[in-house]
Structure 1
């Protein structure tokens, strides 16, 4: 799996985790708000029921007070009150109940024509509801909650009753409402909240899946686009490498043809001339011809080449051989120069400064330019890659300055300190248009090679300034502190332990 695919997979996984967390947070918030809303709705329903019950009981108490103020016997008035209360129904299952001051039942569902529902009688064993109602009434009245048989369904249901005492005869009058309708409303509210939560989760999940798919498609398109761009870059790089190789081969061929080959050809001519001198010495030619064909007259040989005639006078064989040896020595020097340009041995043996100094000394006689090299400070130890990169930058910059800049002087400076190395090549030539060269995809290969060589090293900078007054190329390297390097070298490799040196046996 490529880095881009891993990045895409990690991004998709991260987005999926984020959406799961968002879904959980939203679900938790919705459930919390739903519970709070349910409590508020329940409180509103209960408050409404309590208010309704108070209204009914106050209405029954007002009826009792109005009849009790009438004329007639008390027993008749009491029967009239009970008859009026028994006819006062509210809702499907609402009715009044009445106790006297001693806790005896005066009005019950049976006397109201409600079948299947008994009234709680304090005299019955285990009738805690009646005692709760009477105790609450004597305590000043209020709400009492308990479970009782609902007339319409003949099933037990939660009920809320309101009781109070009547001042005329000390009766306890009350009314009750069943709470199962509130439970149904709350159940419907819970179902609606669950449906809303489920719909929200489905929408979030669909949105998360759509987002992940969109990210995947976008990442795939981005990966394809980057693959095309990378492929194009690789093709350009391959063409650049091939072009660089061809340029290097052309340079080496040119160096060999213009230098080494010419010297070798001249040496060959001198040796051949010396050979003719030796072969045409007195007595040698006759002996040679006799050995070749004793019956043949050399003066009448039609195959004798014209070039084998007597060499010019004044060229002794010893002088020609000496001159040929000098030319061979020059060829060796030229070969060493070309070899040093390809891979300087001094770079590995004596360091970067010595290799740069030799490069400048070799180029100085070939050009009518004031070519100088300066070493400043102490050059720290560099790796092979760092030395090679800086040397190649110096080679390319010097080649450009000596070939294209038409400069009067070129200065090469190598400066160093404990943690920094800076190589500067500057000249006073006419410069060039840097933006145009960078924009040209076919040209400027040397500049790109210099920049890429330096930027491939860690902690490096490549700076170039050019203009009508000259060109300045600077390569800087930031090195690790010596103590850090010492600790790094002293640190044992993972999995290895320091072992003391083995003792040699005594002689």
Structure 2
């Protein structure tokens, strides 16, 4: 569950970062688009103003070329410009060469709008218009009263000089419509950004919920699988214990118990002979008059009984060695494997060999036990089921590696079938689990019609050789377990 929570948190952080990145990109693109839209609108307004002013300038030029008094022609030109309106709030304005107002909104019938008069105190707009015209003409931007709304609004005017009379002619357009268009553009961009963020957030929440549900389902499934594995493992442990108990009981019954029963019979027989000899009366003759066979029978029976007891001790040692060989702790894995092979060789008509190669590093108790149990199980399988002519056990070491190989020339088995069998193949699974429970280990099985090869390989960590070297130095200095006392 912790893994699912971490995954969900990670996904949420990723979605937040993605949302921030998308929002940042959208805002950046929106600002760029706004600047482009504003530039297009402004360029359109400038072009429109130039067109109007050029039209008015052409009208004045045409009138100036007419016949008549100059003053009358000028009045005719001003009258023509006063009749030329464009849009709801567009009009022309004219100054003479001295900066006096010749045409203004009031003379054009537009009420409620003052005009830029240079004579007025603080009329900076008029001076900007006149100076721009004397500089060659161009665009001037300022705020002014809009006729239709009677409110101040940003305005853009274009001015130029009329060379034939030296007048300054201009026209202006208000920019508040551009501001409204840009405000609508900003509102649309903000709405698009908000909708995108809402969609991303909903997608993130949905994804996190799906991941959580999937993780919950996965955890439940894993819990069921783990529970089933634990139950199977418990059954296998119980089965292995019962098999081991049955094996020990069988070996005790077929070996030790039979030898002890035979010894008991021989000793009881010797006891009967001794009792009969002690009951022999002097009036029946001395014991020396008994036949030699009768006289030496108790000693022979006692000798046989002692011999059978010795066999029982050997059999008990063999069974004990199978359960946990003392050589494995005292002398190491190689000696224990060699003893195992020596004990099994007389029992089977198979060429059973053991080979030690290289320098075997000192192993931990868990490593030695795991390799020894693998050798026991593999040898038991080879001798019981493989019908092999020879079995080779090889223990090889070098550096930080130890390898145990058990191979035979038997008929092999179907490895996939054994793995798929839930009830069989316990020994193979036990061997694999024993080795794979050790760090840096590998267990492989190769089988076929030509035989079977079981290999267990351990890779020691760099810290283990130092511990092993200290253990070897301790043994050389005399810090070793006491020698086992021989049995009487």
2:267 aligned with 1:271:
yes
Compare 271-280 and 183-192 and name the one that shifted more.
271-280
Is 1:215 aligned with 2:195? no
CA contact (8 A) 2:362 2:468 kept: no
Q: Would the aligned equivalents of 1:418 and 1:481 in 2 still touch at CA under 8 Å?
A: no
8 Å contact kept, 2:445–2:453: yes
Structure 2: how far apart are the matches of 1:101 and 1:169?
Answer: 8
Deviation at 1:488, TM superposition (A): 11
* Residues in 2 aligned to 1:314 and 1:474: alpha-carbon distance in whole angstroms: 61
* 1:449-490 deviation per Cα after TM superposition (whole angstroms, max 9, x unaligned): 1122122222222222223332222222222357x8439999
Could you tell me whether the CA contact under 8 Å between 1:407 and 1:427 is conserved in 2? yes
- Which residue in 2 is equivalent to 1:175? 171
> By how many angstroms is 1:68 displaced?
2.1
Match of 1:128 among 117, 121, 124: 124
1:185-204 Cα distance to aligned partner (Å, 9 max, x none): 10000000100111111111
Return the alpha-carbon distance in structure 2 between the equivalents of residues 314 and 85 of structure 1. Answer: 167
Counterpart check, 1:419 vs 2:415: no
How many residues align? The count is: 459
Distance (Å, rounded) in 2 between the aligned partners of 1:467 and 1:183: 87
Judging changes above 3 Å, is the alpha-carbon distance between structure 1 residues 485 and 121 closer, same or farther for their aligned structure 2 residues? Answer: farther
Determine the structure 1 residue equivalent to 2:186. Answer: 190
The CA distance in 1 between the partners of 2:333 and 2:168, in whole Å, is: 115
Could you say which residue in structure 2 is the equivalent of 1:389?
370
Q: Is the 8 A contact 2:142 2:155 kept in 1?
A: yes
2:285 corresponding residue in structure 1: none
CA distance in 1, matches of 2:74, 2:208: 79
Counterpart in 1 of 2:234? 238
Aligned mate of 2:345, from 330, 340, 364: 364
SS in 1 for 2:203: helix
Q: Scaled by the length of structure 2, what TM-score is found?
A: 0.89
> What is residue 314 of structure 2 aligned with on the other side?
333
Per-residue Cα deviation, 1:113-169 (whole angstroms, up to 9, x for no partner): 222221111122211111110011111111000111112222211110000111221
- Partner Cα separation in structure 2 for residue 255 and residue 383 of structure 1: 30
Q: Is the 8 A contact 2:96 2:102 kept in 1?
A: yes
From 4, 9, 14, give the equivalent of 1:8: 4
CA shift at 1:96, angstroms?
Answer: 1.0
Determine whether 1:74 maps to 2:70.
yes
SS of 2:155's equivalent?
strand
Match of 2:223 among 205, 219, 227: 227
Q: Unaligned regions of 5+ residues in structure 1, if any?
A: 286-311, 491-507
Tell me how far 1:106 sits from its aligned partner.
0.9
Q: How many angstroms does 1:321 deviate by?
A: 2.7
Residues 8 and 216, structure 1, Cα contact 8 Å, conserved in 2: yes
- Find the counterpart in structure 2 of residue 374 from structure 1: 355
1:233-256 deviation digits (Å, cap 9, x = unpaired): 222212211111111111111111
TM-score w.r.t. length of structure 1? 0.86
| Aligned partner of residue 16 in structure 2, secondary structure | helix
Q: CA RMSD in A?
A: 2.1
Inter-partner Cα distance in structure 2 for 1:366 and 1:449:
25
Please name the residue that 1:137 is paired with. 133
- After superposition, the C-alpha distances for 1:193-223 in whole angstroms (9 at most, x for unaligned) are 1001111111111111111112222222222
Aligned twin of 1:317: 298
Aligned-pair CA distance for 1:434: 2.2
| Structure 2 counterparts to residues 440-451 of structure 1, below 5 A | 440-451=421-432
**Cα distance in structure 1, aligned partners of 2:261 and 2:347:** 21
How has the CA–CA distance of structure 1 residues 50 and 417 changed in structure 2, closer, same or farther, with 3 Å as cutoff? same
The 3-state SS of whatever aligns with 2:303 is helix
Query: Structure 1 pair 461/189, CA: closer, same or farther in 2 (3 Å)?
Result: same
Distance 1:488 1:75 in 2: 123
**Superposition pairs of residues 293-308 of structure 1, within 5 angstroms:** none
Structure 2: how far apart are the matches of 1:489 and 1:131? Answer: 102
C-alpha separation in 2, matches of 1:369 and 1:164: 121
Aligned to 1:85: 81
Answer yes or no: is the 8 Å Cα contact 2:400–2:465 preserved in 1.
Answer: no
**Helix, strand or coil for the counterpart of 1:117?**
coil
Structure-2 residue corresponding to 1:502: none
Partner of 2:97: 101
Is 1:101–1:170's contact at 8 Å kept on the other side of the alignment?
Answer: yes
